[in-house]
Structure 1
Amino acid sequence: VCCSKGTLRDRRPKRNPDGSCASYSVQQGDYCAKIAASNGLKVSDIETFNKQTWGWSGCENLFPDSKLCVSAGTPPMPAPISNAVCGPQKPNTPKVTDTRRSALAELNGCPLNVCCNFWGQCGTTPLFCDITGDGTPGHVNPGTAGCISNCGQKIVNNGVGPKSYRNIAYFEAWNGDRPCLYMDVTDVDKSHYSHIHFSFLDLTETFGVSTANVQDQYDKLLDMDGINRVAAFGGWAASTQPSTYWIFREGVKPANREKLASNIAAFISLHGLEGVDIDWEYPGAQDMIGIPAADPLEGENYLEFLKLLRRKLPNKSISIAAPASYWYLRGFPIKKMAEQVGYIVYMTYDLHAQWDYGSSWTQEGCPTGDCLRSHVNATETYNALVMITKAGVESHKIQVGVSSYGRSFRQVEAGCIGPMCKYVGSDSAAEPGRCTNTRGYVSNAEMNEIMVKNSGARWFRDEESDSDILVYNDYEWVAYMNDENKLRRTNYYKSLNFGGVSDWAVDL
């Protein structure tokens, strides 16, 4: 109270000498009237001062620990969020002079240009990519994450189609080792496929090339004409098994890069093949079970190897395989790699399998990871195509993966068919195929046989995932693509100007 005549001292905070506003960190239990009163302000002043403040969603939605202006001036840098990996609230972000929402949103972008949400997390689903609030960066509706940068889920970089559409047949040259379901490489339909990716040739411990394990089929490949013959190196086993994972890791390093590239190039040239396909699936991966965490720089080493291989094979086809998972694709400098190769085989299959079990991140809406989900889910495939095109790869360089096998599970409850139905884990209890003899994996040929011989087998099409589903022996559940589905998807990818499709694998 006043004890004498005079004017009240102006207690209102003043802007800083650099033009920035006087800021205040919101405390638990604060509300605008309280903050205004303690600073000699009106609530309307708080509203006016913070129209450009990051995270400001009005007086009714104050976030504890957020910073707001209590004077005129440019907004403050927002407070860091301890686990943020993108956006202006990533810890240790240097202070910038332009603190408008639109400028702050561009700080600390996500790998591959995927969406960054308000809480500083990167992702590709609506949780990360949908814009909420009034549409301006840093403004979100209560209870939502809200995208702040690289928002949206639309395929981009697809204005130009390929000069010629590629239809790739992956051929498992070791299929003769199975007890049944054999196929000879000469049986690949040359009227339907433009390329054979002969899988897989081996790289030796000295970075040489070996055909010993597939010699019979390889000799037949050499005598073929009328189709592009591409030697494929790598694959899942070579990328992850303790005895072989290190070959690519060491081979692309500066000390060995010349030798590996020279040996592959000499082999392709000597045998007159049309191209080479490098299927190193997990460069830079930190979480492969049974092998050491990778060097985060492996992707850059891989890029330098591809540049060298391109110089040595200027007139041959060079391609790589790439995973359709953000977690693993972020290890690829994929835009720069696309500049060195003719096309990228994009593995838009195996989106779900037994390995989801127990993971809280692999299945949207199923935090236990043990729900029956299709490994060829069409919506997730579309999202993966959004991801790689937003990363800067032009659509005509992308071969979209289709599959000739299904991922199988043993259901917990017979007759359950919805997306929240559960499977048995953590190891697969699914019945192995008669010929492929692998739990959790059944070939299309084996499923066709089951539908003919098993009177209780039931097929249906799941509209939501655009997948074919086979249920048999009450508890066996398989998601896959039949030939009609593959054709429908192929035509759809053509309409989006993608380079073609690649089928793993035609001997299944």
Structure 2
Amino acid sequence: MIRLAVGALALLLPTAFAADCRVATVGSPHSNCWDIATAAGISTTQLSSFNPGLDCGKLQPGQRLCISSGTLPNISPKPNPDGSCATHTVAPGTWCALIATQYGITEADIERFNKNTYKWKGCSSLQANAIICVSSGTPPPIPVNPNLQCGPESPGNKTCPLNLRRTCGGSQLKRKIGYYAGWAARRSCQSFKPNNLDLQGYTGVIFAFATISQSNEISLASADEQILRDTANLKNKWPNLEVTIAVGGWAFSMDDPTKTLFTQMISTRANRAKFITSVQNFLSKYNLDGIDIDMEYPAAIERQGPTSDTPNLTAFFSEIKTALGSKVVSVAAPAGYWFLRGFEINKIVKDVTYINMMSYDFHGPWDLAVQGEDGTAKPHTSSKEIMDAINLYTRAGVDFNKVNLGLAWYGRTYAVGGCRGTGCLMSGGGKPGPCTGESSIKSQTEIWNEIKDAKITPTYDSNTHTYWYNKDGDFITYDDTNSWKYNLNGTDKCETAASALRPFGCYKDCCLYLGVGEYDNVQIRAKEVKEAALSILDICHGAGLSRRGAQRRALPLAALVPMIIGKWNMIVYINIGAAVIGALATALSVIFKNWNDDEDRGEFVLQTVQETQKKYPEFNIIMAHSDHTPSFEEPCYHRHVEFDRPFPHGTYGYEIYLARRGNFTLKGDGGYMNWAWSGYISEDPNNKKQLAVHPPGAGYGYAAPVQGKYVENGQTKSTELIVSLG
């Protein structure tokens, strides 16, 4: 029986344990399937049969292939006897798939092995010189940096002098704050003035930036004075809005000759007192609600900041909070330990109304000079790094009721040549945007316009929850609606507020070149069409009809709007959204086509403009009068009612439009425009000639060619006009 049992076992061995195959390694010396098969004396069909799932177009250097029947010998590393994982040091210019082939594992294995590895950001953000796991087991120890005084990388893993207590709990969005940059109103293109701001839902606006004078007083550029007053006046429309002034900023804090002025101001009690007194007078002069301190960064070696900055800044916040009482005192603070260590954040937090955490610019072209970075293009925001920043503040004992999460309203660009996607080696910043004019950065509006104009389909990176695309040798990375939603939802684990830490600009729902079918919130658009149209109907009446009679004829059409809204997704899906809204506006216009009440004719135009502007102050009213209807091709326009009746002083018909404030392209067929109030029309930014449309004054204003026709030296010329509403 023993002999039979052994014999039975021997018969089972060939089927239970397959033999190892003969192995060829890609690149040693052959690098394609044909050469490898030929050298092994087999066909490519046999090579594929020996390697199920083989893709000859995706061979990796070092990849092992079977060139006979059998299975690949298992060379994958085993965990160390102490339970720690086998490790690999990432060489510059390598990637996960290449490393995986070296160890006979997969890229998915590397992701799985390194879930708990220190500073692991996924294969898409693999860092040079990082020590990673290539087997299961406990992750490698955190590398020691002898230059650090505390923290996880310091010798002995010393605890940093921050209170360690956790305050994460429920979440409730309590604040929504935006930075408004004064220079946005002065840009040559895509200018954005304070009255362009749609502040619905915002609790505060921070005006950037005031500075500090050599005499330790707050100072504001003369070009910003009226812009700041206009910003403060927004409180007339939004009474609960808090408007504050930001002092400092990156350039002021880091560049000569101003980089020493923060240090100088906070260095003595007398200097601090002089600055605080000037702030009190400044807030009173401009009717402001407080101040935001943006010192980048105290005690930072990058600006040769002395270590005394740290206690002096703490003393400053204590003193200014006492002096300003109920006024807002906020601080812009970094999202990483390196710069945060210059703040006694656990002491400062009790003296500030809130902290604006700058949870962006984690990466950029400056990574080329950062030790430990591999010189590859990475998203400047990242959901993982944002959560790391939140954890850092939590460990610092910061009450997250006082923290505003920074959301970037711009993207970063890298020069990467022909390489595509994240992880490409960069040579520096990408090309400047047409309006921002600065390498390595593009505004959100520039990015949206570029995507639309070039018909680009961006890629969503689910690892970092950011978007990217490549264009003209540049890698562009940015956030969008899904990114912001994800990051805000992620903060539900910690009680935090939200702060849109960005220069306000054109919003996507009214931005350039976005068609109805691409509009993110089309129901709001349909609602605006309904409400604005009805606001005009409220003061209209037609030939032979009383106002009430006219409304009775019009309201059944207006009643269709709720039905349109309810079916809007389907309408957009079948691509008839523009036609539906256009038909509604046209039908309403027919009711008032035969206007013949001479007494009301001119008064009606002015009354319509005045009352609609009062009810919808975030819009501009545009009146066009022409024998030929101008063609408005941008979605920021909402045409509501057409009137084929003349102005009192002419025989032209006219139309009334409602347009969001902002920049947009205006095209037409040779008709003329009248503006209800001040604005200006300028040519294409590449053409220096300027055309102006003046305020109406006592009359109806001055006409300017819609299509861009103008007379110069007796010759009629044409150009496409760019319109900026003020």
Asked whether the two chains share a fold, i.e. TM above 0.5, the reply is yes
Match of 1:424 in 2: 427
Match of 1:443 in 2: 443
Q: Does the aligned pair in 1 maintain the 2:228–2:286 contact within 8 Å?
A: no
Q: Does the aligned pair in 2 maintain the 1:458–1:471 contact within 8 Å?
A: no
Q: Which amino acid aligns with 2:231?
A: L
Q: Report how many residues are paired.
A: 359
Which residues of 2 match residues 32-431 of structure 1 at below 5 A?
Answer: 125=119, 144-145=141-142, 156-159=166-169, 165-211=174-220, 212-225=222-235, 226=238, 227-254=241-268, 255-288=270-303, 293-361=304-372, 363=373, 366=374, 370-414=375-419, 416-419=420-423, 421-425=424-428, 428=429, 430-431=430-431
CA–CA distance in 2 between the matches of 1:351 and 1:59? 36
Q: Does the aligned pair in 2 maintain the 1:349–1:375 contact within 8 Å?
A: yes
Q: Could you tell me how far 1:495 is from its partner in structure 2?
A: 5.3
Q: Could you tell me how far 1:410 is from its partner in structure 2?
A: 1.2
Given the superposition, is the C-alpha separation of residues 124 and 188 from structure 1 closer, same or farther in structure 2, using an over 3 Å criterion? farther
Given the superposition, is the C-alpha separation of residues 124 and 276 from structure 1 closer, same or farther in structure 2, using an over 3 Å criterion? farther
CA–CA distance in 2 between the matches of 1:246 and 1:441? 26
Give the match's secondary structure for 1:423: coil
Q: Does the aligned pair in 1 maintain the 2:436–2:443 contact within 8 Å?
A: yes
CA–CA distance in 2 between the matches of 1:222 and 1:418? 42
Q: Does the aligned pair in 2 maintain the 1:278–1:319 contact within 8 Å?
A: yes
Q: Could you tell me how far 1:460 is from its partner in structure 2?
A: 0.8
Given the superposition, is the C-alpha separation of residues 124 and 214 from structure 1 closer, same or farther in structure 2, using an over 3 Å criterion? farther
Q: Does the aligned pair in 1 maintain the 2:185–2:194 contact within 8 Å?
A: no
CA–CA distance in 2 between the matches of 1:142 and 1:377? 23
CA–CA distance in 2 between the matches of 1:308 and 1:470? 48
Given the superposition, is the C-alpha separation of residues 452 and 241 from structure 1 closer, same or farther in structure 2, using an over 3 Å criterion? same
Q: Could you tell me how far 1:472 is from its partner in structure 2?
A: 1.6
Comparing 169-178 with 442-451, greater Cα deviation is found at 169-178
Comparing 311-320 with 497-506, greater Cα deviation is found at 497-506
Query: Which structure's residues are more often helix, by fraction?
Result: 2
Q: Could you tell me how far 1:236 is from its partner in structure 2?
A: 0.6
Q: Does the aligned pair in 1 maintain the 2:207–2:245 contact within 8 Å?
A: yes
Q: Does the aligned pair in 1 maintain the 2:330–2:356 contact within 8 Å?
A: yes
CA–CA distance in 1 between the matches of 2:182 and 2:224? 6
Q: Which amino acid aligns with 1:279?
A: D
Q: Does the aligned pair in 1 maintain the 2:211–2:218 contact within 8 Å?
A: yes
Q: Could you tell me how far 1:261 is from its partner in structure 2?
A: 1.5
**TM-score, structure 1 length as denominator?**
0.66
Match of 2:75 in 1: none
Q: Does the aligned pair in 2 maintain the 1:490–1:501 contact within 8 Å?
A: no
Q: Does the aligned pair in 2 maintain the 1:160–1:396 contact within 8 Å?
A: no
Q: Which amino acid aligns with 2:400?
A: S
Given the superposition, is the C-alpha separation of residues 58 and 482 from structure 1 closer, same or farther in structure 2, using an over 3 Å criterion? closer
Give the match's secondary structure for 1:433: coil
Cα deviation code 1:234-289 (max 9, x no counterpart): 1111111112112111000114111112211232244332221111121100123x
The structure, 1 or 2, with the larger RCO (C-alpha pairs under 8 Å, 6+ apart) is 1
RMSD (CA atoms) = 2.9
**Which of 1 and 2 has greater Rg?**
2
Given the superposition, is the C-alpha separation of residues 159 and 141 from structure 1 closer, same or farther in structure 2, using an over 3 Å criterion? closer
Given the superposition, is the C-alpha separation of residues 341 and 58 from structure 1 closer, same or farther in structure 2, using an over 3 Å criterion? same
Match of 2:505 in 1: 507
Structure 1 residue ranges without an equivalent (≥5): 1-56, 62-122, 128-139
CA–CA distance in 1 between the matches of 2:295 and 2:350? 18
Give the match's secondary structure for 1:339: helix
Cα deviation code 1:460-508 (max 9, x no counterpart): 10111110112222x2111111133223322332453112223312226
CA–CA distance in 1 between the matches of 2:471 and 2:140? 42
Q: Which amino acid aligns with 2:470?
A: V
Q: Which amino acid aligns with 2:295?
A: W
CA–CA distance in 1 between the matches of 2:491 and 2:325? 29
Give the match's secondary structure for 2:348: helix
Give the match's secondary structure for 1:219: helix
CA–CA distance in 2 between the matches of 1:494 and 1:504? 22
Q: Does the aligned pair in 2 maintain the 1:345–1:502 contact within 8 Å?
A: no
Cα deviation code 1:379-437 (max 9, x no counterpart): 111101111110111111111110110010011433x3243x21113xx3x11100000
Q: Could you tell me how far 1:159 is from its partner in structure 2?
A: 3.0
Q: Does the aligned pair in 1 maintain the 2:168–2:493 contact within 8 Å?
A: no
CA–CA distance in 2 between the matches of 1:372 and 1:439? 14
Q: Which amino acid aligns with 1:246?
A: T
Give the match's secondary structure for 1:375: coil
Match of 1:93 in 2: none
CA–CA distance in 1 between the matches of 2:421 and 2:498? 32
Q: Which amino acid aligns with 1:417?
A: G
Q: Which amino acid aligns with 1:224?
A: L
Q: Does the aligned pair in 2 maintain the 1:284–1:297 contact within 8 Å?
A: yes
**TM-score, structure 2 length as denominator?**
0.47
Q: Which amino acid aligns with 2:407?
A: V
Given the superposition, is the C-alpha separation of residues 499 and 124 from structure 1 closer, same or farther in structure 2, using an over 3 Å criterion? farther
Cα deviation code 1:123-162 (max 9, x no counterpart): 98469xxxxxxxxxxxx979533866769xx993123656
Q: Could you tell me how far 1:303 is from its partner in structure 2?
A: 0.8
Q: Could you tell me how far 1:207 is from its partner in structure 2?
A: 2.0
Give the match's secondary structure for 2:467: strand
Given the superposition, is the C-alpha separation of residues 358 and 203 from structure 1 closer, same or farther in structure 2, using an over 3 Å criterion? closer
Match of 2:586 in 1: none
Q: Does the aligned pair in 1 maintain the 2:229–2:286 contact within 8 Å?
A: no
CA–CA distance in 2 between the matches of 1:155 and 1:450? 46
Give the match's secondary structure for 1:446: helix
Given the superposition, is the C-alpha separation of residues 270 and 311 from structure 1 closer, same or farther in structure 2, using an over 3 Å criterion? farther
Comparing 394-403 with 187-196, greater Cα deviation is found at 187-196
Give the match's secondary structure for 1:287: helix
Identity, % of aligned pairs? 24
Q: Could you tell me how far 1:182 is from its partner in structure 2?
A: 0.8
CA–CA distance in 1 between the matches of 2:379 and 2:487? 15
Given the superposition, is the C-alpha separation of residues 173 and 494 from structure 1 closer, same or farther in structure 2, using an over 3 Å criterion? farther
Q: Could you tell me how far 1:302 is from its partner in structure 2?
A: 0.6
Cα deviation code 1:45-87 (max 9, x no counterpart): xxxxxxxxxxxx99999xxxxxxxxxxxxxxxxxxxxxxxxxx
CA–CA distance in 2 between the matches of 1:222 and 1:379? 37
Give the match's secondary structure for 2:301: coil
Given the superposition, is the C-alpha separation of residues 240 and 213 from structure 1 closer, same or farther in structure 2, using an over 3 Å criterion? farther
Given the superposition, is the C-alpha separation of residues 143 and 431 from structure 1 closer, same or farther in structure 2, using an over 3 Å criterion? closer
Q: Does the aligned pair in 2 maintain the 1:396–1:497 contact within 8 Å?
A: yes
Structure 2 residue ranges without an equivalent (≥5): 1-79, 85-116, 122-136, 144-151, 507-726
